Structure 1
Amino acid sequence: MLPTALLIDFLSVASYLLVGVAFAVITLIISRLIVRRGKGLFRDATYESGMETIGSAWIQFTAAYYIYALIFLAFDVDVLYLFPVALVYGEYGIRDFLEVVLFVGILSLAIVYAWRKGVFEWRSKE
Structure 2
Amino acid sequence: MLPMQLKIDFLAVGLYLLAGIGFAVVPLIVSRLIVRRSRGARRDETYESGMETIGSAWIQFTVAYYIYALIFLAFDVDVLYLFPVALVYGKYGLRDLIEVMIFIGILSLAIVYAWRKGVFEWKSRTE
TM over 0.5: yes
| Deviation of the 1:123 alpha carbon | 0.7
* In 2, Cα distance between equivalents of 1:83 and 1:3: 42
SS in 2 for 1:52: coil
> Paired residue for 1:96?
96
1:29 aligned residue:
29
- SS, match of residue 52 in structure 2: coil
- Aligned-partner Cα distance in 2 for 1:88–1:9: 32
Partner Cα distance (1:73, 1:112) in 2: 16
Is the alpha carbon distance of 1:14 and 1:83 closer, same or farther for their aligned partners in structure 2, counting shifts above 3 Å? Answer: farther
Task: Determine whether 1:123 maps to 2:123.
Answer: yes
CA distance in 2, matches of 1:116, 1:11: 56
Instruction: Please state whether the residue corresponding to 2:100 is helix, strand or coil.
Output: helix
Q: Which residue of 1 aligns with 2:49?
A: 49
Structure number with higher relative contact order (C-alpha < 8 Å, ≥ 6 residues apart): 2
For residues 66-103 of structure 1, the C-alpha deviation after alignment (integer angstroms, 9 at most, x for no partner) is 11111111111111111111112212222211211111
State the one-letter code of the partner of 1:41.
A
How many correspondences in the alignment? Answer: 125
RMSD: 1.9
Q: Is the deviation greater in 18-27 or in 32-41?
A: 32-41
Cα deviation 1:19-52 (Å, max 9, x = unaligned): 1111211222222222233322310111222222
TM normalised by structure 1 equals 0.85
Structure 1 gaps of 5+ residues are none
Identity %: 76
Provide the residue aligned with 2:76 in structure 1. 76
Question: What is aligned with 2:17?
Answer: 17
